[in-house]
Chains A and B, each alone.
Chain A
Amino acid sequence: MLDATAGDDLRVVLEVEGVTLSFGGVNALLNVSLQVENGSIYSIIGPNGAGKSSLFNVISGLYRPQRGSVLFKGQDLTLLPAHKIAPLGLARSFQQVELFKGMTVIENLLLGRHIHMRAGLFSGGLFWGKAREEELRHRQVVEKIIDFLEIEHIREKTVATLPYGLRKRLELGRALALEPELLLLDEPMAGLNQEETEDMARFILDINQERRTTLLLIEHDMGVVMDISDRVAVLNFGELLAAGTPHAIQEHPAVIEAYLGAEDSVFPEGRSGSRNIL
């Protein structure tokens, strides 16, 4: 039994176990468990208000769940403040783009390198020797990301002047600058046109294949989700409806019921009874 768990640790990079999160009696998440395998692309889908973003906020340490644990490489994230989670190798993007508007593209990406840099007030203030060398070194890393995301032409621009599609791409870049092992992307395709969506899907696949980064996505674009995901989990009213391969999910009766609506008989009375009030 012990050996089996040790083996799991290598294979499973993120393990959400029985997470319950409620805001004043309303359950945003109810006993949610899922396992994300190392090197996979894992998508979470579900209707609006299903608790997908809440789950991301729990994983990245912004919300404290009332019950349950989030194990990342065997370490419980629910005990850590949000800023201590990034150095473990976990980065995320936000649903509403939350870039630093007053900074340029390069500066946003360099902020993404924050945990890999050392300079403080003194060395930064002198900007001599080590601090200068550090700036140069990380600038090179950042330029590689600029190259990868094909945003060379906007590198000196302030974020406030950028169109939405590029901001979305930059937010991916900023998370990437952290060199995470696990990357959480909250609706990376939302609001993008067809071409931008395809670009984004290509970036996600490249990140997964070239950098061996595990990805956890929230996405509404079913075509993309079913195309690129290794596994899909479905949330509905804070509960996990189903998890499995894209194919299995598409055929899952509970998922079909949640998305398309079916007879009440799909769910036993007891479980859906409380929700009828809502």
Chain B
Amino acid sequence: MSARYCGDYKTSYGQEMVLFQTFFSRLWILLFLIGLYTAPLYLNEYALYVCNLIGIAVIGALGLNILAGFTGQISLGHGAFLGVGAYASAYLVMDLGVPFFVALPCAGLIAACCGLVFGIPSLRLKGLYLAIATLAAQFIIEYLMVHVEGVTNGVLGKMVDFPSCLGFSFDTDQRYFYLVTTLALLATLITKNIVRTRPGRAFIAIRDQPVSAEVMGVNPFKYKLMAFAFSSFLAGIAGSLWAHYVTIITPEHFTLGVSIEYLAMIIIGGMGQIIGSIFGAVFMVLLPEVLRVASGALSGQFPVIVNLFAAIKEGVFGLIIIAFLIYEPDGLAHRWQLAKSYWKLWPFSQ
């Protein structure tokens, strides 16, 4: 439900910058936050585990959306940058004994530096060509994760502890939920602020009209690199959180498949929409779980289906992505907009 005065009664530009404008939108966001932070009271361990995966995916998807959705630079290396963050954090905490809350931003910064280096081709390359160049980042980093065994322990995988701070350990799903949720909300807020201020406008300008952006004084190379760095920073944070949650990481966790999964997230959620990253992350994490539960329930009646499960899961996955590209190319964020404008006029909307 929402209600608005029939008129715009704002008297200052400051009032227009408020993120949640109306009483009801503020009420809804408050209820959402209360619901979110009390979730561990009424959700079971499994549901919280899924929520944590969603929270981590939200952070990663926000990063990729800045790069691909807002700046228009397609990257196929996001999975690798997640891996850089994961291994950086694991190495800092496990081998060097750095406290987790120092290692977390460091992991982000190290991933950001990698992103900067692999973003350099974006000066010359556009579209598909850039995608192929970032593919190189994916393969090089994957190779390093397997072969620099001193840091990564190679294909055997690296053990990682739950994060702890001043004797308090985030060792249960409930505790980790608060950590992940808070960071995901923070990442969302910061990303939203970036896209509504000067750097965000420069990103969008480069995506929409690179030539006129340059003529208006936007340094395209600087802002493309900035987008790469910020995107990889968030990927690094997500990777670090993921590593400390699953507690064992191997190079197989950060393959090209992960990069494409993140691209699918922002396409399904909505490119160039902050809320799209959230919808996409929720959708892409929930979908396999839902498919798993559904096929589990069906397997009672059709035992054959259990053997086919893997194939069906991938097939349905692909079908849903294709259906989205055809029927809702603007993503779930656009659906959300339509739904909102429908309820704004309800019961007089049609």
- Tell me whether A and B are bound partners: yes
Chain A 84-118 near chain B by CB (<8 Å), digits 1 or 0: 01110001101000111111000100111011011
- Give the chain B neighbours of A102 by CB distance below 8 A: 204, 207-208, 272
A154 contacts the other chain (CB 8 A): no
> In chain A, residues 108-144, which have Cβ atoms closer than 8 Å to a Cβ of chain B?
110-112, 114-115, 117-121, 123-127, 131-132, 134-136, 139-140, 143
Q: Does A62 contact B (CB under 8 A)?
A: yes
Report yes or no: A121 in contact with B205, Cβ–Cβ below 8 A: no
List the B side residues contacting A127 at CB < 8 Å.
193, 196-197
Task: Verify if B85 is at the interface (C-beta below 8 Å from A).
Answer: no
Q: How far is the CB of B187 from chain A (nearest CB, A)?
A: 10
Chain A nearest CB: distance from B190 CB in Å? 4
> Complex Cα distance A178/B208, Å?
19
CB distance from B224 to the nearest CB of A (A): 12
A153-185 interface bits toward B, Cβ cutoff 8 Å, 1 = contact, 0 = none: 000000000000000000000100010000000
> Which of B13, B202, B219 is A111 in contact with, Cβ under 8 Å?
B202
A258 at interface by CB-CB < 8 Å = no
Residues of A within 8 A of B208 (CB): 99-103
Q: Which of A114, A126, A134 contacts B201 (CB 8 A)?
A: A114
Least CB separation from B19: chain A residue: A127
Interface string of B63-77 (1 = CB under 8 A from A): 000000000000000
Task: Evaluate contact between A124 and B209: CB separation under 8 angstroms.
Answer: no
Q: What is the distance, in angstroms, from A219's C-beta to the closest C-beta of chain B? A: 19
Query: Across the interface, do B201 and A111 meet the contact criterion of CB distance under 8 Å?
Result: yes
Please measure, in the bound complex, the distance between the C-alpha atom of A218 and the C-alpha atom of B205, giving whole angstroms: 25
Assembled-state Cα–Cα distance A43/B201 (Å): 32
Cβ of A60 within 8 Å of any chain B Cβ, yes or no, is yes
Task: Check B201 against A103 for contact (C-beta < 8 Å).
Answer: yes
User: From residue A83, how far is it (CB to closest CB) to chain B in Å?
Assistant: 5
- For chain B, residues 182 to 199, give those with C-beta under 8 angstroms from any C-beta of chain A: 190-191, 193-194, 196-199
Contact (A86, B205) CB under 8 Å given A119-B198, A131-B197: no
Chain A facing B: main interface SS: helix
Whether A83 pairs with B230 at a CB distance below 8 angstroms is no
A56–B213 alpha-carbon span in the complex (Å) = 16
Interface mask (B101-117 → A, CB under 8 Å = 1, otherwise 0)? 00000000000000000
Contacts of A178 in B (CB 8 A): 216-217
Residues of A within 8 A of B230 (CB): 121
Q: A82-B215, A86-B217, A87-B217 are in contact. Are A98 and B209 (CB under 8 A)?
A: yes
B169 within 8 A of A: no
Assembled-state Cα–Cα distance A143/B13 (Å): 10
A125 contacts B193, C-beta separation under 8 Å:
yes
Asked if A124 meets B216 with Cβ closer than 8 Å, knowing A99-B209, A114-B202, A136-B14, the reply is no
Q: Is B17 an interface residue (CB 8 A)?
A: yes
Return 10 A-B CB contacts under 8 Å, by A number.
A91-B215, A94-B211, A98-B211, A102-B208, A119-B198, A125-B191, A126-B193, A127-B193, A131-B197, A132-B14
**Interface of A toward B, CB cutoff 8 Å:** 60-62, 81-83, 85-87, 91-92, 94, 98-103, 107, 110-112, 114-115, 117-121, 123-127, 131-132, 134-136, 139-140, 143, 174, 178
Task: For the A-B complex with A81-B219, A127-B193 known, give 16 more contacts whose Cβ atoms are closer than 8 Å.
Answer: A62-B211, A85-B215, A86-B217, A100-B205, A100-B213, A102-B204, A102-B207, A112-B216, A114-B205, A118-B198, A119-B198, A121-B194, A124-B199, A125-B191, A134-B198, A136-B14
Interface residues of B (CB under 8 A from A): 13-14, 17, 190-191, 193-194, 196-202, 204-205, 207-209, 211-220, 226, 230, 272
